[in-house]
Structure 1
Amino acid sequence: MELNDIPRLPLGFLPTPIEDLKRLGDELRIDLAVKRDDFTGFGGGGNKVRKLEFLMAEAVSRGVDVLITTGGHQSNHARMTAAAARKFGMKPILVLRGNKPSVMQGNLLLDHLLGAQIDFLDPDAYFTEINPRMQHHADAARERGETPYIIPLGGASALGAMGYVAAVRELSEQYEALNRLPPEYIVAPVGSGGTLAGLLIGCAMFWPSTKILGIAVSGSAVPFSQRIADMANGGAELLGLDHRFSPTDVAIENGYVGEAYAVPSPEGNAAIARVARSEGMFLDPVYTGKAMAGLIDCVKRGSIAPGRRVLFLHCGGSPALFPHAELLTSDRVD
């Protein structure tokens, strides 16, 4: 099956721009650019829109009434899934990791405005209860005579990964139109792994010389390399490709998670401030701040050599800045 043959509903404001980060690149002594997928627009923007274009096509074809997904308190994926549900006349149910806060801020505020039903799970019980809890909501919907559809964490599935196969095709067309050499590295945050799986497939198809480097922003019960390789192979099968991926094809840097997923790290916060002050671009404390901290350190350690062409994937997430205002302004001198 060709990529264009897979059903897809347009949601994003595509193509998103490529921006050179000249000042920061000069400081790091690399040729640095960014793919601005924070500008995908729909539902507040972010990388998950690309996955939802394929996942929502399947949901709509099945006549879904109730859309169910999961994520952390400040999940960009949950916010955009809730927006997609409303666009197609569905009820969104979000099962989120964390106790109910006293004040809804950031993405939680947007979830509320979208009228999502939010089911908060205790953080310690989340990973054992999440699948049964989503299934409970699906079963309850069926009992009401409704048709449910469960989207996995981060939209991470072989079908969802098609969003970033299409993104690499988009990038290759943009670079060709600019008469620009492809990047030697694409650096991206890794949470649930679907984006990286799509990038691996897409580069195998369109940019075979480009290396994908994932910066982990969370832990994983199953090693990321295995989970992403499995997802990429599922996507390759969907496309009818002969290419197969092994865990050794998946490059992941695991040293930048910090204390835990969705807990800001000092290095990530420093990267957020540095990029804002050098380039006027906002990163977030959950994904892109930690990923940029990883990229900066990889350059310092020499695993990305001086002069390399590097493309950073900005996957959105700026609403997650606001709940951490006190922490992110702790360096303020009045």
Structure 2
Amino acid sequence: MIPRYPPHISLARLPTPLQPLDRISEKYSLPGGGPRIWVKRDDLTESGMSGNKLRKLEFVTGAAREQGCDTLITCGGEQSNHCRTTALVGARLGMHVQLILRGDAPAVADGNLLLDRLAGAATAFYPPRQFFAELPALFEHWKAFYAGRGHKALCIPTGASDGLGIWGYIAGAEELLQDCRERGFEPEHVVCATGSGGTQAGLTLGAQLLQANTRVTGYAVCDNEAYFQNKVREDIAHWSALNGQQVDTGALDVHVNADYIGPGYAVADEPVYRAIAEAASLEGLLLDPVYTGKAFYGLLQELRAGRYRDCGNLVFVHTGGQFGIFPQREKFAHLEG
């Protein structure tokens, strides 16, 4: 049973649709069977603020309001979906937003960074080595900076993935399972991209609390299997501590597939771009090359290999990120024909 939800601010348009992908299912089914593939359209949580991060930020901003904060500070890469969502949420709620970004400031803003700036977020860029080595200190620097100007800031970790943010996908798991039951099934498998671990943690914990016979698998887009095994358990342990709920994290059923990361975070090989084009042409489904495109490509390869042959229904959680297509537009230019 899910305990009482903490205060939160309604930002997303919920519930998001659950749709079958029957042409993809037919193409990738094997002799002897295979699952019917569904997609949970969390890319439709809102328009500009779309994606999985908005569910998490409902609870994060609820906590910020409870604590009297007027400023949000968070971090990510130049094309971070989470930073873009935080920037737009801050604008919607009348809050200051400071983004700590990894990399060099480009000459021309594109994709998510363009939206960050349109939303009025302040941006500070740091070389990757400094970003990773000094991130806690950078958060403290900017928190003190705003305090010195009379503002109170809430610091939000990468992807809003911690014991507070995962409430968004505990609620998301409850919604998804209800959607499926209304369609007459309980999914054997739920699949998502995992990049900071919070969405997978929330779905995993939500399925356990609801006693669903559903296996959640995160397809990693960076790091490795051991990292995400630990990160999911850490987030759930943090949730447990915050809410006084006992969870045996060692007994959690945490599944990670790290076979399709490719060259590295935000870098994809040509087959991923082809999978993105295929999803668009067969189903009108837009994926991105950083998160959902990699995860969906990995899922298709596993289906082709017979990994889910005995499964009746599988749900792919579309976590958004379509704005990340545009800065990589040249990767699609040669796919015609």
Classify the TM-score, shorter chain. Answer: over 0.9
Match of 1:293 in 2: 297
- 1:195-243 deviations in whole A, cap 9, x for unaligned? 0110011100225310011100111697110111121233245455444
**Which of the residues 322, 327, 333 maps onto 1:329?**
333
Residue 302 of structure 1: how far off its partner (Å): 2.9
Match of 1:253 in 2: 257
In 2, Cα distance between the equivalents of 1:16 and 1:152? 25
Match of 1:45 in 2: 50
Match of 1:22 in 2: 22
Residue 162 of structure 1: how far off its partner (Å): 0.6
SS at match of 1:124: helix
Match of 2:284 in 1: 280
Verify: 1:188 aligned to 2:192, yes or no.
Answer: yes
Q: Is the 8 A contact 2:225 2:258 kept in 1?
A: no
Verify: 1:100 aligned to 2:139, yes or no.
Answer: no
**TM-score, scaled relative to structure 2:** 0.93
Greater mean deviation of Cα atoms: 155-164 or 231-240: 231-240
- 1:281-315 deviations in whole A, cap 9, x for unaligned? 10001100000011112222333225531100000
- 1:162-190 deviations in whole A, cap 9, x for unaligned? 10010111122222223x11111001000
**Which of the residues 123, 147, 155 maps onto 2:160?**
155
Q: Is the 8 A contact 2:273 2:293 kept in 1?
A: yes
Match of 2:169 in 1: 164
What is the 5 A alignment of 1:60-99? 60-99=65-104
What is the 5 A alignment of 1:313-328? 313-328=317-332
Root-mean-square deviation (CA, aligned residues, Å) is: 1.9
**Which of the residues 55, 58, 61 maps onto 2:60?**
55
Q: Is the 8 A contact 1:43 1:84 kept in 2?
A: no
In the superposition, relative to structure 1, how do residues 243 and 149 fare at CA in structure 2: closer, same or farther (>3 Å)? closer
Aligned-pair identity (%): 37
Verify: 1:201 aligned to 2:196, yes or no.
Answer: no
In 2, Cα distance between the equivalents of 1:10 and 1:114? 19
Q: Is the 8 A contact 2:57 2:160 kept in 1?
A: yes
Residue 68 of structure 1: how far off its partner (Å): 0.4
Q: Is the 8 A contact 1:42 1:80 kept in 2?
A: no
Detail structure 1 runs of 4+ shifted over 3 Å in the superposition. Answer: 1-5, 236-243
What is the 5 A alignment of 1:114-193? 114-178=119-183, 180-193=184-197
Size of the alignment, in residue pairs? 332
Q: Is the 8 A contact 2:174 2:206 kept in 1?
A: yes
SS at match of 2:296: helix
Verify: 1:311 aligned to 2:315, yes or no.
Answer: yes
5+ residue gaps, structure 1, are: none
5+ residue gaps, structure 2, are: 30-34
Q: Is the 8 A contact 1:201 1:235 kept in 2?
A: no
In 1, Cα distance between the equivalents of 2:20 and 2:253? 28
SS at match of 2:159: helix
In the superposition, relative to structure 1, how do residues 75 and 219 fare at CA in structure 2: closer, same or farther (>3 Å)? same
